[in-house]
Amino acid sequence: MTIPAYKNPTLPVPERIEDLLSRMTLKEKAGQLTQWFHLGPDHHDLIRKGELGSGLNANSSTAGNNPQERILAECLNDLQKVAVTESRLGIPLIFGRDVIHGYRTVAPIPLGMAAAWSPGMVQAANTIAAKEARADGIHWGFSPMLDIARDPRWGRVAEGFGEDPFLAGKLAAAAVRGFQGNEQDAIPQQFAVDRIVACAKHFVGYGAAEGGRDYNTTEITRHTLHNIYLATFKAAIQSGCGTVMSAFHDIGGIPLSAHSSLLTDVLKEQWGFDGFVVSDWGAVWELTNHGIAADGNHAAELACNAGVDMDMCGMMYLNSLPDLVQAGKVSEERLNDAVRRVLRIKFALGLFENPYADPNAAQVVHLQPESLATMRELAANSMVLLKNNGVLPLRSDNLTICLSGPLADRRKELFGCWAPDGQDEDVTTLKEAITGRLGAETRLHHYELADDAVKLARSSDVMILAIGESEGRSGEDNCTTTIDLPAGQEALVESARRMEIPIVAVVFGGRPLNLTRVMDWADAVLFAWHPGITGGLGVADVLFGDVNPSGRLPITFPRSSGQIPLYYNHRPTGRPLPGGSRRHSRYVDSLDSPLFPFGFGLSYTTFEYGNLQMSPTPQTPEISITAQVTNTGNRAGTTVAQCYVRDVIASVARPVRELKGFERVMLEPGETKTILFKLGPKELSYLDDNGHEVLEPGRFQVWVGGDSTAELGTEFEVTPDGKWVGSR
Ligand code: NOJ
């Protein structure tokens, strides 16, 4: 008996897809475009009829914020078996899950990962996550989350890489490569058996939700859309990201899950994206709530025609697309295009040949010592030292430590907002981590109740306060009206201050928090984000000096909620600061500067930048910028050298600074290294309202240093023939 062409692995995939497509009914096609959640035996019938193409392993739209059952390969295999052996065409299911920051080996939240400014570490963390997820039978991870966020009240700021499109774009590409394992900048023709397909989300502009309130409406100009919000997605697509998720919200009245000019014209046509677009959870149906679709039928028509290929957790496509095609409201060509895109990913994942997961794989692959070591290194390198008057690093011998604060001995609270596969018992708490490294004559007193701690603190040499917010206070649907610390925490630090012993505040959080008062009272402040499974160990590594902190803020820390939105790459005003008179763009009741600027972070050593030079790169329109950085302290340490640019005069006002290069530089005490940044047309141009690069001749400023306020700078000029002259 001859096998049908689509089942023949020796034939080229496009031929197999066309053969399969030619055999499918309209209903089966709509089935491939339908994803449902929390699948079990109740769904066997739907699968058997070929009316389900994908499963999402979660039981709520905020999957991951609720305790979940562990994923078991056996359960997924049962479902897959029905699809492969009992449905007419035997098309395998693709299983998706929110693999956002690690899997069983939970990584720091993405905002924390971003603080390490290390594409290599992000790629390594996502490689581990992919292997662990695939071992459980998961094929598709719903990340990276690429929403630039300028409002820390928005709970989902934790899930993204911060406020800067350049940094986030580099990390986006690294995250995609980590999941997919692609060596070329293209969707792999064939994924390795231990990799998963990535999903760039939420396309696009979701981080601009008004008031920092989740799912809220946005107003984004075309200029900002192209230069800020689309940029990270473009980076992910250019590195070969296989899928994209359309967002819940609207921009100026057009919900993103019906936005044909962004989904089709920009994403698919202008950028050539040939993977598939999945809606966010129920977002097709929600077009009725947005008031642009009369009913589910209409919603399916709008979403499919706009370019959404798969309906996540909705039955709109399954119920409506066959009739819509027959009525001529959705073309069969468009339906086929969507199905081809989905099938292409299933073929690339090898699901037709290897549909099942090995039920014994997880116990071998999960929580490997090397994986834990990688996550611990990432966690420690993500932490940002915000203040240190010399109390850190702590010595481990002959010390009495008083440890207190609500997060001192907590497990899942350190995970971060998306850790559906993390297990509480895998986490080392901060208390355990400190206990594990106490040297001779060192004692640790841990007081659950802050009052007791404060009373007894006098007999200690140092007090460590673990404060901030727990994982449940950030992430989806966890927005706040202020970025103040949770109730009582400032009072705790203030009363500890009165004990007149050194205070070290370790602050956990999924967003920038208002630390203005804590900065006054604490002797040292370490911002640890939600650091994941090895976070307690990572904090201890930093506190005791095994790791010299090198984290740098990927997002501005305001002085108060009232300053929001506050971001470093803002446009100039006509009345810029600093200004002499009162008639300038400023507040009368607050300083205007942030508490900590983008890119900021201290170290146990000090660095000095100097000797900025410019030279042409032969044969190219590129400029090479070099500078020297010296470790001027007495410990080895890593600085993150950052390069910022300003286009001084252009047809549109350009940001006061934009990051265009960065590099982690490790230096021994007294050592000097030369760092090099190359600036070419890509770095010096901006995008017009149609997304086309525009490089305008004229003056440019450039700075190199340790954060976005770097003062070491110079100027050059780009001439009308695209060459440059400098320096001034
Ligand atoms: C809704 C969230 O917005 C999205 O990020 C997530 O991937 C899906 N739910 C699936 O859980």
User: What is the average pLDDT across 37-56?
Assistant: 95
**Looking at residue 425, which CATH number applies to its domain?**
3.40.50.1700
Directed axis angle between helix 165-180 and helix 119-135, to 10°? 40
Which pLDDT score is estimated for 61? Answer: 45
In this predicted structure, the answer to whether residue 503 has a pLDDT above a threshold of 60 is yes
Question: Would the CB of 281 count as within 6 Å of ligand 1?
Answer: yes
Q: Does 286 contact ligand 1 (Cβ within 6 A)? A: no
Chain mean position to CA 329: 37
pLDDT tens-digit readout, 175-218:
999 999 999 999 999 999 999 999 999 999 999 999 999 999 99
- CA nearest 93: which of 109, 70, 75, 111? 75
pLDDT of residue 65: 39
C-alpha to C-alpha distance for 702 and 216, rounded to whole angstroms:
37
d(CA 85, CA 73): 17
Q: Do residues 294 and 406 share a domain?
A: no
- pLDDT one-digit tens code per residue, 383-410: 999 999 999 999 989 999 999 999 999 9
81 sits in the region (left: phi over 0; alpha: psi -120 to 50; else beta) called alpha
Ligand 1 atom showing the smallest separation from residue 202 Cα: 5
Q: Is residue 585 very low, low, confident or very high in pLDDT (cuts 50, 70, 90)?
A: confident
Atom of ligand 1 nearest to the CA of 248: 3
Over the range 670-680, which residues count as b (16 or more CB within 10 Å of their CB) and which as e?
A: eeebebebebe
Q: Which ligand 1 atom sits nearest the alpha carbon of residue 145?
A: 5
Within this chain, do residues 631 and 555 fall inside the same structural domain, yes or no? Answer: no
Within this chain, do residues 321 and 382 fall inside the same structural domain, yes or no? no
Whether the CB of 142 sits within 6 Å of ligand 1:
yes
**Among the three residues 362, 389, 410, which one is the final residue of a domain in this structure?**
362
Question: 198 alpha carbon to ligand 1 midpoint, in Å?
Answer: 13
Give the distance (Å) from ligand 1 centre to CA of residue 143.
9
Distance 485 CA to ligand 1 centre (A): 27
Q: How far is the CA of 303 from the centre of ligand 1 (A)?
A: 18
438 within some domain: yes
User: By the 8 A CB rule, do 674 and 630 touch?
Assistant: no
What is the per-residue pLDDT for 449?
67
In testing the pocket of ligand 1, which one of 95, 159, 281, 417 has its CB within 8 Å of the most ligand atoms?
281
Does any domain span residue 590?
no
From start to end of 92-189, where are the E strands? 94-97, 140-141
CATH of the domain at 667: 2.60.40.10
Q: What is the pLDDT of residue 62?
A: 45
CB contact at 8 A, 162 and 149: yes
Say yes or no: CB of residue 159 within 6 Å of ligand 1. Answer: no
Query: 279 C-alpha to center of ligand 1: Å?
Result: 9
Ligand 1 atom nearest to CA at 100: 7
Where residue 77 sits, what CATH number does that domain have?
Answer: 3.20.20.300
446 lies in the same domain as 541: yes
Ligand 1 atom showing the smallest separation from residue 64 Cα: 11
Cα–Cα distance, 217 to 221 (Å, whole number) = 14
Same domain flag for 705 and 630:
yes
520 catalytic, yes or no?
A: no
What separation in Å is there between the alpha carbon of 282 and the centre of ligand 1?
Answer: 10
Q: Where is the domain boundary, 336, 362, 388?
A: 362
Residue 249 alpha carbon to ligand 1 centre in Å: 13
CA-nearest of 534, 481, 533 to 511 is 481
Q: How far apart are CA 639 and CA 706, in angstroms?
A: 7
Q: Is the CB of 147 under 6 A from ligand 1?
A: no
> Domain boundary at 362, 395, 419, which?
362
Q: What is the pLDDT of residue 58?
A: 61
How many whole angstroms from 62 Cα to the centroid of ligand 1?
A: 6
Residue 728 burial (10 A CB sphere; 0-12, 13-18, 19+)? exposed
How much is the pLDDT for 453?
74
| Atom from ligand 1 closest to the CA of residue 313 | 10
Mean pLDDT taken over the chain? 94
| Range of the structural domain that residue 530 is part of | 375-563
Per-range mean pLDDT, top range of 51-60, 449-458, 471-480, 492-501: 471-480
Q: 280 CB under 6 A from ligand 1?
A: yes
495 and 617 share one domain: no
Q: Are residues 183 and 35 in the same domain?
A: yes
Q: Which residues contact 274 (CB under 8 A, 6 or more apart)?
A: 187, 268, 341, 344
pLDDT, tens only, 645-662: 999 999 999 999 999 999
543 membership: H or E segment, kind and range = helix 535-543
Q: Structure tokens of 446?
A: 């841990």
What pLDDT is attached to residue 38? 87
Q: Select which of 98, 136, 164, 280 is catalytic.
A: 280
Statement to judge: residues 276 and 154 lie in one domain: yes
Comparing 15-19, 215-219, 264-268, 572-576, which segment has the lowest mean pLDDT? 572-576
| Pairwise CA distance, residues 16 & 36, whole Å | 26
Residue showing tokens 């209903």 = 27
Closest residue by Cα to atom 11, ligand 1, is: 63
Mean pLDDT of 452-461: 80
393 and 332 within one domain: no
Q: Is residue 557 in a domain?
A: yes
- The pLDDT value given to residue 448: 73
Asked whether residue 232 is domain-assigned, the answer is yes
Cα–Cα dist 445/30, whole Å: 62
Q: What is the tally of structural domains in the chain?
A: 3
Q: Does residue 592 lie within any of the structural domains? A: no
* Packing angle of the helix pair 332-348, 13-23 (nearest 10 deg): 130
**Mutational test site, ligand 1, from 216, 245, 474, 479, max ligand atoms within 8 Å of CB:** 245
- Tell me whether residue 584 is in a domain: no
Residue 162 placed within a domain: yes
Closest CA to 277 of 304, 245, 317, 232: 245
Q: Ligand 1 centroid vs 378 CA: distance in angstroms?
A: 25
Is the beta carbon of 201 within 6 A of some atom in ligand 1?
yes
310-331 average pLDDT score = 98
Measured from the CB, is residue 203 less than 6 Å from ligand 1? Answer: no
pLDDT in tens, 227-240: 999 999 999 999 99
In this structure, the residue with its CA closest to atom 3 of ligand 1 is 280
Q: Which atom of ligand 1 is nearest to the CA of 159?
A: 5
Nearest to 469 by CA among 446, 487, 492, 493: 487
Same domain, 422 and 552: yes
Q: How far apart are CA 597 and CA 557, in angstroms?
A: 6
Regarding the beta carbon of 63 and ligand 1, being less than 6 Å apart is answered yes
Which residues have CB under 8 Å from 505's CB, separation 6+?
465, 467, 493, 515, 518, 522, 524, 525, 526
Q: Are residues 545 and 505 in the same domain?
A: yes
For ligand 1, mutation pick of 476, 477, 478, 479 (most atoms within 8 Å of CB): 476
Closest residue by Cα to atom 9, ligand 1, is 61
β-bridge mates for residue 702, sequence order:
645, 714
Express each pLDDT in 129-151 by its tens digit.
Answer: 999 999 999 999 999 999 999 99
What is the whole-number distance in angstroms between the Cα of residue 145 and the centre of ligand 1? 10
Pocket test for ligand 1, best of 142, 143, 159, 196 (most atoms within 8 A of CB): 142
Whether 335 is in a domain gets the answer yes
| Residue 345 structure tokens | 């990913």
- For 45, the 3-state DSSP assignment is helix
- Judged by DSSP in three states, 162 sits in coil
Q: Is 258 left (phi over 0), alpha (psi -120 to 50) or beta?
A: alpha
Please list, in sequence order, all residues whose beta carbon lies within 8 angstroms of the beta carbon of residue 177, skipping any fewer than 6 positions away.
Answer: 123, 126, 239, 240
Establish whether residue 98 lines the binding site of ligand 1, counting it when its CB lies within 6 angstroms of any ligand atom.
yes
Number of DSSP helices (H) and strands (E) in the chain, helices first: 22, 26
From 454-463, 565-574, 678-687, the region with the lowest mean pLDDT: 454-463
Q: Which residue has the tokens 């921009």?
A: 251
Ligand 1 pocket test, pick from 154, 312, 421 with the greatest ligand atom count within 8 Å of Cβ, gives 312
Q: Tell me which residue has its CA closest to atom 7 in ligand 1.
A: 142
**pLDDT class for 581, splitting at 50, 70, 90?**
low
Bigger pLDDT: 208 vs 69: 208
The answer to whether residues 455 and 357 belong to one domain is no
Residue 58 Cα to ligand 1 middle (Å): 9
